[in-house]
Structure 1
Amino acid sequence: MFKQLKILDQSQINEIKSIAQTGKFVDGKISNPHSKVKNNLQLHDMEAYNKTSKLLHDALMSNREFNDFAFPERVAPPLITRYQPGMHYGLHADSAIISLADGPIRSDLSCTIFLNDPDDYQGGALHVTQGEAGMRFKGLAGAGIVYPSHTLHEVEPISKGERMVAITFIQSKIADVMKRNLLYELNEVAALEGLNMKYENYTRMQAVQYNLMRMWID
């Protein structure tokens, strides 16, 4: 259900942060004014937003692991957010429908891309719950974590430094999380072991892959 990826190299990180630093950040509630748990800052500068979102979107879409895991149909333009001491984003699930200029998308998966290293701030872990347990993520700069949008998650309070990330939402070609994960695992096995199999058996497995995609793709 979760996938950690290397999305950006250092030159891409530097370029994105340089553009963002010239842009205006405002209270994150501008995009969710009724939220009682959102306490962060988000980029609110059209020129900087257009430049950074394109760089981030292109990096995601050129990442083979991301494509293999998410089966992306549409990806919302990534938005840069900042967390300073005392800021946090309380426990929530992401909206099922994300409104965009070119029409709404269904949020099957959410993605956080870290733009600075975990040593740059204290606190601020992305905490994704699973029942009574959960997982915490503080990735290196350039790393991304992809997780189901329906899960309850939070950004824990920042006590020191600044956390800068980009967030986006993905509408997958395969909406059902179980089907998507099963097909991902099958594809991974085929990629890792296909050359070791007899040609006839590998061909049969490929047929299963293709037919499952025909059945499950929306």
Structure 2
Amino acid sequence: MFLEIPDLLSAAEVARLVEIARTRPFIDGRVTNPHSKVKANLQLEYGDPAYAESSRLMAQALQRSETFRNATFPKVMAPPMLTRYRHGHAYGLHSDAAFMPIGERPLRSDLSCTIFVSGSEAYEGGDLTVQLGAQRVRLRGAAGSAVVYPSDTLHEVTPVTAGERVVGLTFIESRIADATRRGLLHELNEVAALEGLSMDWDNFSRLQHVQMGLLRMWADPN
């Protein structure tokens, strides 16, 4: 599943994140993946008070997005982290770790999310590309937008050749672990949302019965 959310952040939220990125200290991004030979970027320092503020701001934006909630069925979400790519920075082809030490227990990374803080006009290069078989999907969003994609796909950030790329990153453990089931239920929910009120009420009730039955069968309530 690939999900694009055009207006996740408000203009004020984008401006605040840009200000944090401009004024607060960043450290070598390899601190979260010290053995990587392909990661070259910077990330906001954990101990800085602005880290908690920026993470909370991005998390709240995702949590209030009905589009995000309906597609991902979020159970646990890693605190979003601001990262910076300057000239020459890149993140070579990789897939995200299956489990991440977040909170009281490891988070299973079902979905990854990139939140675009810099507008695409602010930098050259720096494309998020996801490999699908022999093809690569190029993802490059406007400031305030976000994209969600499967964590187990091979993906990369191509080298930045000019300007600066600032994005937020987070990982989501879904209540529906199986990607096929998650996608089917999302499609069914979309049809119900778009067409349900124009249906005969008895048929709409039957559709809702199927939706809730599948959710009970497939979702982890804990």
Q: TM-score, normalised by structure 2?
A: 0.96
Partner of 1:170: helix, strand, or coil?
Answer: strand
> What does 1:103-114 align with in structure 2 at a 5 Å threshold?
103-114=105-116
Q: What do the CA deviations read for 1:170-200 (whole angstroms, capped 9, x no partner)?
A: 0001011100000000000001000111111
User: Which whole-Å CA distance do the structure 1 matches of 2:199 and 2:11 have between them?
Assistant: 39
Q: How large is the Cα RMSD of the aligned pairs?
A: 0.9
**Aligned-pair distance for 1:48?**
1.3
Q: Decide which of 61, 64, 67 is 2:66's aligned counterpart.
A: 64
**Corresponding residue of 2:127:** 125
Identity %: 50
User: Which whole-Å CA distance do the structure 1 matches of 2:19 and 2:105 have between them?
Assistant: 30
Q: What do the CA deviations read for 1:118-170 (whole angstroms, capped 9, x no partner)?
A: 11111111000100012101100000000000000000111111100000000
**Aligned-pair distance for 1:101?**
3.6
Which residue identity does 1:153 align to in structure 2? H
**Aligned-pair distance for 1:103?**
2.7
Residue 18 of structure 2 contacts residue 118 of structure 2 at CA under 8 Å; is this kept in 1? no
**Aligned-pair distance for 1:45?**
4.1
Residue-pair matches, total: 218
1:19 correspondence with 2:20: yes
Q: Decide which of 129, 136, 139 is 1:137's aligned counterpart.
A: 139
Which residue identity does 1:122 align to in structure 2? E
- Consecutive unaligned residues of structure 1, counting only runs of 5 or more, are none
**Aligned-pair distance for 1:98?**
1.0
**Corresponding residue of 1:201:** 203
User: Which whole-Å CA distance do the structure 1 matches of 2:19 and 2:164 have between them?
Assistant: 15
User: Which whole-Å CA distance do the structure 2 matches of 1:14 and 1:170 have between them?
Assistant: 25
Which residue identity does 1:111 align to in structure 2? C
**Corresponding residue of 2:57:** 55
**Corresponding residue of 2:4:** 4
**Corresponding residue of 1:39:** 40
Partner of 2:102: helix, strand, or coil?
Answer: coil
Partner of 1:185: helix, strand, or coil?
Answer: helix
- Consecutive unaligned residues of structure 2, counting only runs of 5 or more, are none
Which residue identity does 1:52 align to in structure 2? S
> What does 1:76-91 align with in structure 2 at a 5 Å threshold?
76-91=78-93
